[in-house]
Amino acid sequence: MKISDLPARFPIPFGNSASGSYIRTIPEASQVGIQDGAASLTTGFPPLTFLPVGAGGVPPFGQDFNGILRQITQWSRWQGAGGAVPYDSDFSTAIGGYPQGAIVIGNTAGTLYLNTVDDNTTNPNSGGANWVPLVVQTSSQYVLGAPVYITTNQTYSTPTGCRALDVIVVGAGGAGGGGATPGVGEIRIGGGGAAGGIARKLIVGPNSSYAVTIGAGGVGGTGAGPNGGTSSFGSVCSATGGDGGAVVLSNGYAFTTYATGGDGTGGDLNIEGMSGGPGNAGINSVVIGHGGLGASGPYGAGGNGSSNTSAGWGSGFGAGGGGSANNLDAGPNRNGGNGSPGLVIVTPLF
Q: What is the pLDDT, as a whole number, of residue 250?
A: 79
Residues with Cβ within 8 Å of residue 197, at least 6 apart in sequence: 170, 171, 239, 240, 241, 242, 261, 262, 263, 264, 265, 270, 271, 272, 273
- H or E segment to which residue 71 belongs: helix 62-80
Sheet holding 324-326, edge to edge: 247-250, 187-190, 324-326, 306-307
Residue 345 identity (one-letter amino acid): I
Residues 188, 235, single domain; the answer is: yes
How many domains does the chain divide into? Answer: 2
- Position 118 pLDDT exceeds 90: yes
What average pLDDT does the segment 287-295 reach?
78
226-260 pLDDT, tens digit per residue, is 999 999 999 999 999 999 999 988 777 778 889 99
What average pLDDT does the segment 54-78 reach?
90
| Cα–Cα distance, 65 to 42 (Å, whole number) | 15
Residue 304 lies in a domain: yes
Residues 333, 211, single domain; the answer is: yes
Residue 215 identity (one-letter amino acid): G
256-274 pLDDT, tens digit per residue, is 889 999 999 999 999 999 9
Residue 300: band (very low, low, confident or very high) from pLDDT cuts 50, 70, 90:
very high
Residue 139: band (very low, low, confident or very high) from pLDDT cuts 50, 70, 90:
very low
Residue 95 lies in a domain: yes
Q: What is the pLDDT, as a whole number, of residue 182?
A: 79
Residues 217, 123, single domain; the answer is: no
Q: State the CATH number of the domain containing residue 108.
A: 2.10.10
Residue 181: band (very low, low, confident or very high) from pLDDT cuts 50, 70, 90:
confident
Residues 108, 134, single domain; the answer is: yes
Contacts by 57-62 with C-beta closer than 8 Å and gap 24+?
Answer: 61/24, 61/37, 62/22
What average pLDDT does the segment 89-111 reach?
89
- Position 199 pLDDT exceeds 90: yes
Residue 97 lies in a domain: yes
Q: What are phi and psi of 53, to 5 degrees?
A: -60, -40
Residues 125, 173, single domain; the answer is: no
Residues 286, 217, single domain; the answer is: yes
Residues 207, 348, single domain; the answer is: yes
**11/343: higher pLDDT:** 343
Residue 7: band (very low, low, confident or very high) from pLDDT cuts 50, 70, 90:
confident
Residue 2: band (very low, low, confident or very high) from pLDDT cuts 50, 70, 90:
confident
- Position 286 pLDDT exceeds 60: no
**End-of-domain residue from the set 76, 107, 140:** 140
Q: What is the pLDDT, as a whole number, of residue 330?
A: 58
Sheet holding 164-170, edge to edge: 148-150, 343-349, 164-170, 198-204, 269-271
**By percentage, how much of the chain surpasses pLDDT 90?**
61
Q: Which residues constitute the domain of residue 103? A: 84-140
310-333 pLDDT, tens digit per residue, is 899 999 999 999 999 887 665 688
- Report which of 178, 188, 182, 297 is spatially closest to residue 226, judged by C-alpha positions: 178
Residues 112, 187, single domain; the answer is: no
Residues 202, 281, single domain; the answer is: yes
Characterize the bridge pairing of strands 280-283 and 103-105. unpaired
Residue 155: band (very low, low, confident or very high) from pLDDT cuts 50, 70, 90:
very high
What average pLDDT does the segment 60-74 reach?
91
**By percentage, how much of the chain surpasses pLDDT 70?**
95
- Mean pLDDT over all residues of the chain? 89
Highest mean pLDDT among 10-14, 86-90, 340-344: 340-344
- Position 102 pLDDT exceeds 50: yes
| Cα–Cα distance, 301 to 337 (Å, whole number) | 12
- Position 148 pLDDT exceeds 70: yes
- H or E segment to which residue 274 belongs: none
What average pLDDT does the segment 75-83 reach?
88
| Cα–Cα distance, 185 to 251 (Å, whole number) | 6
Q: What is the pLDDT, as a whole number, of residue 329?
A: 65
Residues 259, 308, single domain; the answer is: yes
- Report which of 202, 169, 223 is spatially closest to residue 333, judged by C-alpha positions: 223
State the burial class of residue 198 (Cβ atoms within 10 Å of its Cβ: 0-12, 13-18, 19+): buried
